[in-house]
Amino acid sequence: MKRNKDVYLYDLIEACIHIHTFIGDLSCEDYKDNILVKRAIEHEFEIIGEVLRRIRDEMPSLLDRIPNARLIIGFRNVIAHGYDVVSDETIYRVVKTDLSDLLSTLEKLKS
């Protein structure tokens, strides 16, 4: 079943917010030691990547307005299928340095 743009954007924004909530003020070392937080964040990245993949297939013009969307889809695939090659440090860095920009873009697209 196809979903509309607003539902997809809501799902993406919600996943980003969940990630920020889960990581809170954890240091990288604390993140690495917390299996629940790690798995929760990985799952939310899988959701983000899956939603972007669906947008790619159904609304390519929207995907073009989301910077690095194809890289994010690839990141999701690595987390889901190459779980043993993604380091905790990489995921932590992405959360701390890139996720806010994605969230900001998504919120602008929602308006």
Asked whether the predicted pLDDT for residue 16 surpasses 80, the reply is yes
Residue 98 CB coordination number (10 Å): 15
pLDDT in tens, 43-93: 999 999 999 999 999 999 999 999 999 999 999 999 999 878 889 999 999
pLDDT tens digits for range 44-58: 999 999 999 999 999
pLDDT band at 1 (very low <50, low <70, confident <90, very high): low
The whole model's pTM is what? 0.93
CA distances from 77 to 65, 85, 91, 93 (A): 21, 11, 13, 18
